[in-house]
Amino acid sequence: MLYPIRQRLTLPLSLASLLLFVLFSVAYAADPPPDKSAAVRNFVDDAGAEPEIDWDAETGVPTFITGKFPADLSIQGQTNRVDQAHDFFNRYGNLFQMKNPTAELALINATDADGSHLRFQQMYKGIPVWGAQLLVHSQDGQLTAINGHYQPGIDLNPTPDLTAVQAETIARTHLGATQATLLANVELVVMTYHTEPAALTWLVQLATNEPLGRWLYFIDTHTGGITYNFNNLPHVRNRQIYDANGACSTSSLPGSLVAIEATGGTLPAGPAKDAFDYSGAAYDYYLSQFGRDSYDGSGAPIITSVKFGTAGTCNSSAFNAFWNGAQMVFGSGGGSYNHFAKAEDVVVHEFTHAVTEYTAGLIYQFEQGALNESMSDIFGVFAQQRSTGDFNDWELGEDLNVVFRDMSDPTLYGQPAHMSNYNELGWVDDNGGVHTNSGIPNKAAYLMVTGGTSGKITATAIGLSKMEQIFYRALTNYLSPLSGFNDIKNSTIQACQDLIGSFGITFADCNQVQNAWAAVGLGSAALTASTKVYLPVLINGTGGATDAFIYEPNDDVSQAYGPLSSGVTYWAYLQTNGDVDIYHFTTSGGFIDISLSSLPSGTNYDLELYNNAGQLVGVSYNSGTTDDSISGTAPAGKYYIYISPTTTASSTTDSYQLAVTYP
């Protein structure tokens, strides 16, 4: 279909009237739901700038908010960070459809000692909403980001008809394992994950040996039905080392104590010695790289059992390794397989599952579980690289005489390396593909470290040291139980920006983090001065190779392109005398510089700058192909750049260059 090019708006009054309308719809990573326009407008009016918001397509509420926050939300006087967070939600809770933010959010913890990262649990009438958490981030007293998963519109009877004991009986009967162990007190929770409508449930957590599992059952407190259930046991296929002596039952764990911290160094070669050495390597890795004292950050003892299971008798135990919520367990192996504590990357992988449980709490299913697996793969491989000095080793598990995965090329072992190949698996198949789809974030992590091209997008290497810090910060400060792939993309980009100036991390590094995610199909590539970015193209005719092209119909304010990134050069065309290109950007206030250069031969373009009230605040009307520029100090706000030809026809074969720098 051929779309006509719109004519230029020539009257400032027309621009002003349109601006008043357009400001109701600001730029986001995804479009806001229609009923959020007033809430967004209030936020924009108070902040004086556009936020960047990712919206959850299912719930219609934000999952990530960054950008400029209202100045009066900064910490002042006796205000503390918790009060600041409550103030934000009291004022803008309608973005999330909150009715009573104070009652609906309970502080879980501060992930940094100074309280600059706060984690809140969503509550419904005093009952936790399972997996639903919001994180509030600040720096130097100013809010910098809000992210997480909030479940709006819950309306249910909060009084259970079923007792906790009855719920446990229902779960045990369904599981069919008479020796199942109750792992925690049965807890009343509101369940929304894969549940419509929300249900009041009893959460029953059971551990079994055959099949090996850490089962979560959500029993409807009114009907007795099983609302949802799944296996949340992560596995790959002061230290305390135990020998399980081939036992098949988790009830026998940890087994016989064979070494503690003081005696482990004298162990003979074998599974116990490997477990002692590599669990120590895991501890040392997290302490030296991130200052983390054991998996819980508070010096918890590292309990490890080896020689679990017997090949041919209980293979699911013998050929396995897992973190069960209290300790690491490594199978005996057998046949061509070495024992499962033989591989350092596997041991650190399991240790990282413990770190994840004590930080983000990622559940072990679907995208969340694949991300959980990926975090363990990433830190397991990197810890081994640092230990061995082999920074080209991207395989996981090779010391077991089998390779499970390869981060440099996940497709070698049946994993996708791009979102276009994401495997939509049911929950009974590998917990929804946790060991399959983890290849996608694994590949992104590899590209960040080494650089490379995937899906026609190139990422430049930022190196192991920078990438580790970015992922660790994302895991501990930004991810929550229901975080998926889009969340880790946003979290690592934000974590990178937080760390600019530390560990040698620069703004350019953050662009490469974004590029690596774009290369695996998550988001778009960053714009850089070396990248030619042409505005949207409409094809005239059927789309064949000989069809003519009509470029970027951004001819009025409603189609303004942006926001432009500071310091980035853009290439675009003006097609006819009547064409006009309009761009927008938002500054926090200060010195701005706009440059229009490389004008096509035989043309003459004008450069104009309008503020968000439609007032002309800057012009450059140089004749011919002379470069145009506008510079000076400007107050905070949104601005529109106009580029238009005068009496000379434009060009569809030669582009101009536009760049703007602003604070």
Give the active site residues: 350, 435
Report the amino acid identity of residue 22: V
∠ CA(486), CA(491), CA(492), 5° rounding?
105
Sign of CA dihedral 192, 195, 200, 203: negative
Specify which residues 230 forms β-bridges with: 216
Strands (E) in 344-451, as ranges, are 395-396, 405-406
Sign of CA dihedral 629, 632, 635, 636: positive
State the residue for tokens 């027309």.
14
Q: What span, in angstroms and rounded, lies between the C-alpha atoms of 599 and 434?
A: 52
- Longest Cα–Cα distance in the chain: 90
Nearest by Cα to 179 from 250, 114, 115: 250
574: enclosing H helix or E strand:
strand 569-574
* Cα distance between residue 319 and residue 330, in whole Å: 8
Separation CA 191–CA 131 (nearest Å): 8
- Sheet strand arrangement including 303-308: 235-236, 321-323, 328-331, 303-308, 240-243, 256-260
Alpha helices in 108-263 (DSSP H): 164-175
Q: Are 36 and 152 in contact (CB under 8 A)?
A: no
Look-up: residue for tokens 């690289």? 385
Secondary structure class of 269 (helix, strand, coil): coil
Three-state DSSP state, 176: coil
Which residues make Cβ contacts (< 8 Å) with residue 114, sequence separation at least 6? Answer: none
Tokens of 533: 């970015």
| 171/180 Cα distance (integer angstroms) | 10
Burial (CB count within 10 angstroms: exposed 0-12, middle 13-18, buried 19+), residue 52: middle
The closest alpha carbon to 471, from 451, 453, 448, belongs to 448
CA dihedral 423, 428, 429, 431 (to 10 degrees): 70
N- to C-terminal Cα separation, the chain: 41
**Distance in angstroms (rounded) separating the CA atoms of residues 662 and 634:** 9
Q: Would the CA dihedral through 453, 457, 461, 462 be positive or negative?
A: negative
Q: Which residues, 6 or more positions from 487, have their beta carbon under 8 angstroms from its beta carbon?
A: 63, 64, 147, 371, 478, 479, 480
**Paired sense of beta strands 549-551 and 637-645, if any:** unpaired
Over the range 449-458, which residues count as b (16 or more CB within 10 Å of their CB) and which as e? bbbbebeebb
Which two structure tokens, joined as six digits, stand for 91? 């004022």
How far apart CA 185 and CA 457 sit, in angstroms, is 49
